[in-house]
Chain A
């Protein structure tokens, strides 16, 4: 299977947030010895490098669908990343300390895209429920958010243990002052809607700005977008 490895290598070393990094001992496949590698977790990809200073990863472990467990191995502080399916290999890794081990197990168990999406959807629902609540409904003092994360029928958000605050649940969140003139009037704007809206604005501004910088390599795409006007939804 082809994979955009160059982009993958770039993603491994760019300035996106690193979710965890450190040295781990990795057992080679098929009983080969174990090597100390520099590991970088970013999103749902676990990259490993020969050293901390290496510019390109030796390899990457896609973590989607994996389970992480402690193992009783000859190495101390060892854990395994395993995948379902008979022929999938397991990766046995060993940290240098108990704290490092715990940090890795925690980060890797939550690294999947599916998990992150679940969390985001949950928060999105909570926010929508809070916004839909009438001004009379405020946060209830439910001390146990985990057992009942969904809002009750009367619209109260139940996840928070904060005391009731009369002004805490306005019908509509106030718009940021800078954007009052230009933002659409959407009481329940989701992140995706706002992202798309501001994204169009930003792209339009960028193409205006970059339209004046003809000739620079790699900016062909901006010229096309600014002259064709095809980014926006406003086509006749």
Chain B
């Protein structure tokens, strides 16, 4: 698949939400854990050899599952093949917990659901007016867009983001 690698490299140089040197092991059988500088920028996880400016690779964090492995370790795998896991070793369970929470919130889909959630909460508090209710998204010009409606939430029960939101309504 073709992609704009230069832009991806530029993204890897942007300020990161989280960055740390962790042990990282790829999904292939027999792969060895190596020290990598791991950097979370928007919905991408970049990994570098320590002290190198260009990333070795990137993982798009959509449709992924983040799971605790051994204490202090977590894995990332993807919905289309959950057995293929990228393993990460942290220096403490606290660091591990911090990373897992950050990674679970790192997807665009999660952000989308956040937006729908807050919009609904605000609507609930303001109630329905007889005239057109003021949609808090109107000031951003995106209230009408279908992608920010409740029925646009994914129905795939495998993801850890989609199915939980329904109970909040």
B→A interface (CB under 8 Å): 1-11, 14, 42-43, 54-60, 62-65, 67-71, 75, 77-83, 85, 93, 97, 101, 104-105, 107-115, 117-119, 121-122, 124-127, 129, 133-134, 136-142, 145-147, 152-156, 160-161, 163-164, 167-169
Contact = CB atoms under 8 A, between A and B. Distances in A.
Given A17-B147, A162-B133, A230-B68, 7 more contacts: A3-B8, A43-B112, A122-B140, A149-B139, A202-B163, A221-B83, A225-B67
A65 interface: yes
Given A1-B8, A64-B11, A179-B167, A10 B78 contact: yes
B124 to A, nearest CB: 7
B134 A119 contact: no
B78 A85 contact: no
A233 interface: yes
A159 B136 contact: yes
Contacts of B140: 110, 119, 122
Given A60-B3, A116-B111, A161-B134, A173 B124 contact: yes
Interface in A50-86: 56-62, 64-66, 83-85
B71 to A, nearest CB: 7
Contacts of B77: 221
Contact of B43 (A43, A122, A218): A43
Contact of A16 (B42, B63, B67, B163): B63
A107 B79 CA distance: 27
B138 to A, nearest CB: 8
A127 B118 contact: yes
Contact of B80 (A10, A56, A58): A10
A124 interface: yes
Nearest to B42: A113
B56 A199 contact: no
A127 B155 CA distance: 27
B164 A127 contact: no
Nearest to B107: A43
Contacts of A126: 118, 122, 136
B117 to A, nearest CB: 5
Contacts of A64: 7, 11, 42
A101 interface: no
Nearest to A178: B167
A16 B117 CA distance: 17
Given A160-B126, A218-B82, A11 B114 contact: no
Contact of B154 (A16, A149, A225): A16
Nearest to A56: B1
Contacts of A14: 63, 79, 154, 156
Given A173-B125, A225-B68, A6 B80 contact: yes
A15 B139 contact: no
A96 interface: no
A178 B68 CA distance: 29
30 contacts: A3-B57, A4-B58, A7-B63, A7-B80, A8-B1, A10-B79, A11-B63, A14-B154, A14-B156, A16-B63, A17-B146, A56-B1, A61-B4, A64-B42, A83-B7, A88-B10, A114-B42, A117-B42, A120-B111, A123-B119, A124-B118, A130-B125, A159-B134, A167-B127, A176-B168, A218-B81, A218-B82, A231-B68, A235-B71, A235-B93
